[in-house]
Chain A
Amino acid sequence: MSLSKQQLLQTQDIVKSFGNRQIISGISADFPPSSVTAILGPSGCGKTSFLNILAGLIPADSGRLIGFPQLSFSYSFQDPRLLPWLSCLDNILFALSGLDDEKTSRERALRFITAAGLEAYTAFKPLQLSGGMRRRLSLARAFSYPSDVLLLDEAFASVDLKLRIDLMDLFSLLWREEKRTTIFVTHDVQDALYLADRILVFSSRPARLLDTFSIDTSRETRRYGSKDFSELEERLYRMILS
Chain B
Amino acid sequence: MRPPGDPKNLTVERGQRQKRNEPSGKLGFGLLGICAAVLLWRLASGMVGSSLILPPPGEVVASFLRIASGPGFWTAVLGSLRRVGIAFALSTLVGGLSGTIAALSGFFKSFIAPFLTTIRATPVLALILVAMFWLPASGVPIFSAFLMAYPLIHGSTCAGIESVDPELLQMATVFKVPARTILFRLRLPSASPYFLTGAKSALGISWKVVVAGELLSQPAFALGTGMQDARLSLDTASVLAWAAATVFLCGMSEFILGFASRRLEKGRMERPT
Contact = CB atoms under 8 A, between A and B. Distances in A.
Interface of A: 55, 57, 72-75, 77, 79, 81, 83-87, 90, 94-98, 123-125, 127-128, 145
B271 A125 contact: yes
A90 B186 CA distance: 12
Interface in B238-270: 268-270
A164 B171 CA distance: 23
Interface stretch (B23-31, B71-79, B107-115, B172-180): B172-180
A75 B270 contact: no
B272 interface: yes
Contacts of A128: 269-271
A145 B167 CA distance: 18
B177 A124 contact: no
SS of B interface (majority): helix
B185 interface: yes
Interface in B146-182: 167-168, 170-178, 181
A94 B176 contact: no
A96 B173 CA distance: 12
Interface of B: 167-168, 170-178, 181, 185-186, 189, 268-272
Contact of A123 (B168, B269, B271): B271
Contacts of B186: 83, 94
A90 B268 CA distance: 13
Given A57-B174, A74-B175, A83-B189, A94 B271 contact: no
Contact of A98 (B167, B175, B270): B175
Contacts of A57: 170, 173-174
Contacts of A72: 176
Contact of B177 (A55, A73, A95): A95
B270 A96 contact: no
B185 A94 contact: yes
A81 B181 contact: no
B189 A85 contact: yes
A74 B189 CA distance: 24
B185 A86 contact: yes
Contacts of B167: 77, 79, 81
Contacts of A90: 185
Nearest to B265: A85
A74 B176 CA distance: 10
B269 A127 contact: yes
B189 A94 contact: no
A123 B175 contact: no
A85 B171 contact: no
A74 B175 CA distance: 6
Nearest to A80: B171
A183 B171 CA distance: 17
Contacts of A125: 268-271
A95 B271 contact: no
Nearest to A79: B167
10 contacts: A57-B170, A74-B174, A74-B175, A77-B167, A77-B171, A79-B167, A81-B168, A95-B177, A98-B181, A124-B271
